[in-house]
Amino acid sequence: MALLDRALVRLLPAVPRPVVKRLSQRYIAGPDLADACRVVQALNERGRMATIDVLGEEVTRREDALALVDAYEDVFETIRREGLVANVSVKPTGLGLNLDRDLCLENIGAIVRWAKERDNFVRIDMEDSSTTSDTLAIYRDLRGQGLDSVGVVLQARLHRTIGDVNDLADLRPSVRVCKGIYLESPEIAYQDPDTIRESFVDIVEALLDIGAYVAIATHDEWVVEQVKRLIAERRLQPEQYEFQMLLGVREGLGDALVSQGHRLRIYVPFGRRWYEYSLRRLQENPSIATYVARDTVGRLIPGRNGR
Ligand SMILES: Cc1cc2nc3c(=O)[nH]c(=O)nc-3n(C[C@H](O)[C@H](O)[C@H](O)COP(=O)(O)OP(=O)(O)OC[C@H]3O[C@@H](n4cnc5c(N)ncnc54)[C@H](O)[C@@H]3O)c2cc1C
């Protein structure tokens, strides 16, 4: 990342919220479920599946966690009514993990049961390393209750992950693999980008070895190419794995994957609690300086991208 970009990333938390909101619009469907529905319909028409995330994390009040559970019931209802090709993603801290682990288990359990009734699926997102063990324990607990319509996420950045793959082997899990967005200390996480990429490919390979369903969540062409090689070597059929990408990121790479016959699912967040998610996405944008400059110019020159 260039010097100016790195400086801007550090400054982002100090940027006024309305500016962050405007800059991050491409990453979020909108404030309402109807916005997510519209975006998913458009994605489906272009041959992409979706996973819908109701924004909200690190809730500090029980009633907020319960409100998020209700919001997911509405999402399932909309998916059914509108015939969307979509499942859902949930964040444990949005569903009360930091308040009470049992409350979180209950909440995720309720959402997974709705998914099961509707032949749908819930992916439990992975948050920072303080939540990893609890999140994996909740996943194991749900599977122990006979709930199969649920999957988890593993982060290539963490040293522990290859061990977690072995621990999950008896469940034949459904796992999304990603690099991991949360910056973690060198004691527990790889710091070098190439090491993280190699770890990503090793983890996908280890998951395929244990018979897992793997969702490959990345916009990194090198990783995509390596995983495509593994898929070809193992002669996997398109329904045995999927690629995943974030809304608003590297659509050209997505087009290429779809035209090559791979399945692609897009992560579609919506809701009014957009701030934390938006900051993370902007901090990952490798050309944030150009991006900010374009937005600023767009507002200064009348009629140019000013909305
Ligand atoms: C579907 C999906 C679900 C995810 N779920 C989780 C999760 O549960 N837990 C978790 O910790 N992380 C999650 N992530 C985030 C992930 O861990 C990475 O932080 C993120 O995907 C960036 O890593 P990358 O593999 O795309 O590689 P990078 O090297 O970061 O990106 C590769 C290229 O993609 C482009 N790019 C990437 N991000 C942006 C952006 N924001 N704006 C513009 N261009 C960009 C750039 O061209 C960049 O050079 C998820 C990612 C995806 C795609």
Residues, the chain: 307
The 10s digit of each residue's pLDDT in 38-75 is 999 999 999 999 999 999 888 899 999 999 999 999 99
Give the rounded distance of the alpha carbon of 276 from its chain centre: 14
Q: What integer pLDDT is reported at residue 290 of this predicted model? A: 76
Minimum-distance ligand 1 atom for the alpha carbon of 200:
25
More confident residue, 283 or 158: 158
The percent of residues above 90 in pLDDT, for the chain, comes to: 79
User: Quick one: average pLDDT of 258-275?
Assistant: 95
Q: Which amino acid is at 164?
A: D
Residue nearest to atom 45 of ligand 1 (CA): 285
User: Quick one: average pLDDT of 14-23?
Assistant: 85
Ligand 1 centroid to Cα of residue 63, in Å, is: 31
Ligand 1 centroid to Cα of residue 62, in Å, is: 30
Sequence-ordered list of residues with C-beta below 8 angstroms from that of 32, at least 6 positions apart, any chain: 270
Q: What integer pLDDT is reported at residue 201 of this predicted model? A: 98
What helix, strand, coil percent values describe the chain, rounded to 5?
Answer: 55, 15, 30
Q: What integer pLDDT is reported at residue 276 of this predicted model? A: 87
List residues near ligand 1 (CB under 6 A): 125-126, 153, 155, 178-182, 217-220, 244-246, 249-250, 267, 281, 284-286
More confident residue, 17 or 132: 132
Question: What's the half-sphere exposure (Cβ side, CA atoms, 13 Å) at 162?
Answer: 13
> How many other CB atoms are there within 10 angstroms of residue 26's CB atom?
12
Evaluate if residue 275 carries a pLDDT over 70.
yes
Helix (H) or strand (E) run with residue 241 in it:
strand 241-246
Ligand 1 centroid to Cα of residue 149, in Å, is: 25
Minimum-distance ligand 1 atom for the alpha carbon of 182:
11
Helix (H) or strand (E) run with residue 109 in it:
helix 101-117
The 10s digit of each residue's pLDDT in 88-134 is 999 999 999 999 999 999 999 999 999 999 999 999 999 999 999 99
Question: Of 48, 53, 123, 125, which residue is the catalytic one?
Answer: 125
Is residue 244 within 8 A of residue 51, CB to CB? The reply is: yes
User: Quick one: average pLDDT of 275-291?
Assistant: 83
Q: What integer pLDDT is reported at residue 282 of this predicted model? A: 87
Q: What integer pLDDT is reported at residue 305 of this predicted model? A: 34
User: Quick one: average pLDDT of 216-236?
Assistant: 98
The 10s digit of each residue's pLDDT in 127-154 is 999 999 999 999 999 999 999 999 999 9
More confident residue, 18 or 147: 147
Residue nearest to atom 11 of ligand 1 (CA): 180
Q: What integer pLDDT is reported at residue 303 of this predicted model? A: 44
Residue 244 in 3-state DSSP?
Answer: strand
Mutate to test the pocket of ligand 1, among 188, 243, 249, 266 (most ligand atoms within 8 A of CB): 249
Please report which confidence band the pLDDT of residue 284 belongs to, taking 50, 70 and 90 as the band edges.
confident
**∠ CA 61-276-155, rounded to 5°:** 100
Residue 116 token pair: 């099961």
* pTM of the model as a whole: 0.94
- Share the mean pLDDT of the chain: 92
Question: Of 176, 197, 265, 281, which residue is the catalytic one?
Answer: 176
Minimum-distance ligand 1 atom for the alpha carbon of 253:
34
Q: How far is CA 51 from CA 57, 124, 160, in A?
A: 17, 11, 26
**Can 125 be counted among the known catalytic residues?**
yes
User: Quick one: average pLDDT of 266-270?
Assistant: 97
Q: Is the dihedral of CA 139, 140, 141, 145 positive or negative?
A: positive
Ligand 1 centroid to Cα of residue 86, in Å, is: 20
Helix (H) or strand (E) run with residue 193 in it:
helix 193-209
Q: What integer pLDDT is reported at residue 8 of this predicted model? A: 73
Burial class (CB in 10 A: 0-12, 13-18, 19+), 93: buried
**Can 5 be counted among the known catalytic residues?**
no
Helices then strands (H, E): number in the chain? 12, 8
Ligand 1 centroid to Cα of residue 200, in Å, is: 12
